[in-house]
Chains A and B, each alone.
Chain A
Amino acid sequence: AQSVTQLGSHVSVSEGALVLLRCNYSSSVPPYLFWYVQYPNQGLQLLLKYTTGATLVKGINGFEAEFKKSETSFHLTKPSAHMSDAAEYFCAVKGLDSNYQLIWGAGTKLIIKP
């Protein structure tokens, strides 16, 4: 069965520091991969996605993620953290068995220290 693992339920970085949120997936075929962000008391919104083509994907708010097939990873990065980046981030993979389902990671809460 497919699964998505996000390493670290909480990640704390200083403002201006590099943000790295880790996501590993299991899939027997090339996956579609996604990062969603949830700001406090809001619904989720799509941050970026990988479907095919270029393995380095750029998203909104300066975030990017790189699909590494050999490592089955899709880590999310941002060179310089802002206070406004404080949110929960979810990695997801498109389900193999359905066109309609996503398999979700447990989420990583990003804390920005001033």
Chain B
Amino acid sequence: NAGVTQTPKFQVLKTGQSMTLQCAQDMNHEYMSWYRQDPGMGLRLIHYSVGAGITDQGEVPNGYNVSRSTTEDFPLRLLSAAPSQTSVYFCASSVSGRAHEQYFGPGTRLTVT
């Protein structure tokens, strides 16, 4: 099992550019989520999904889109990058009903200039 994988590890974008952060898991987990981590603020939930075809907004969804066409993949799209989106992004997954016991990917460090 590779667990939860994220690509890329690092990314630098210019303001206004778009990109997709990739997340995949091979544990057949129904629940997947995206967080951003900023110093002194812990983790903030961006979007989550409880299964293929079902997504919902978290605490800070503005500027981000998600889709879940398969159980394995949950990409996060930045539509028009802004410096405020400079952060470390984590993808996580868990078994349905146990969303509090999440498995995290290694993270993507994004810088927007």
Q: Report if B45 contacts A (CB, 8 A).
A: yes
The answer to whether A101 and B99 have CB atoms under 8 Å apart is yes
CB contact between A90 and one of B42, B48, B107 (< 8 Å): that residue: B42
**Cα distance, A41 to B107, chains bound together (Å):** 8
Chain B stretch 59-90: residues in CB contact (< 8 A) with chain A: 90
Tell me how many residue pairs across A and B have CB atoms closer than 8 Å: 56
A107 surroundings in chain B (CB, below 8 A): 40, 42
The answer to whether B106 and A94 have CB atoms under 8 Å apart is no
The answer to whether A106 and B100 have CB atoms under 8 Å apart is no
B58 surroundings in chain A (CB, below 8 A): 101
Q: How many chain A residues touch the partner (CB < 8 A)?
A: 22
The answer to whether B104 and A94 have CB atoms under 8 Å apart is no
Q: How far is the CB of A70 from chain B (nearest CB, A)?
A: 23
Q: How far is the CB of A13 from chain B (nearest CB, A)?
A: 21
The answer to whether A43 and B100 have CB atoms under 8 Å apart is no
With A43-B4, A43-B104, A43-B107 in contact, is A100–B99 under 8 Å at CB? Answer: yes
Of all chain B residues, which has the CB nearest A102? B100
B101 surroundings in chain A (CB, below 8 A): 34, 46, 49
**Cα distance, A105 to B107, chains bound together (Å):** 19
The answer to whether A106 and B106 have CB atoms under 8 Å apart is no
The answer to whether A99 and B99 have CB atoms under 8 Å apart is yes
The answer to whether B42 and A104 have CB atoms under 8 Å apart is yes
Q: Report if A52 contacts B (CB, 8 A).
A: no
The answer to whether A100 and B31 have CB atoms under 8 Å apart is yes
Q: How far is the CB of B111 from chain A (nearest CB, A)?
A: 15
The answer to whether A104 and B43 have CB atoms under 8 Å apart is yes
22 contacts between A and B (CB under 8 A): A9-B40, A32-B100, A41-B107, A42-B107, A43-B92, A43-B105, A44-B104, A49-B101, A94-B100, A100-B31, A100-B33, A101-B48, A101-B99, A102-B43, A102-B45, A102-B99, A102-B102, A104-B44, A105-B42, A106-B40, A106-B41, A107-B40
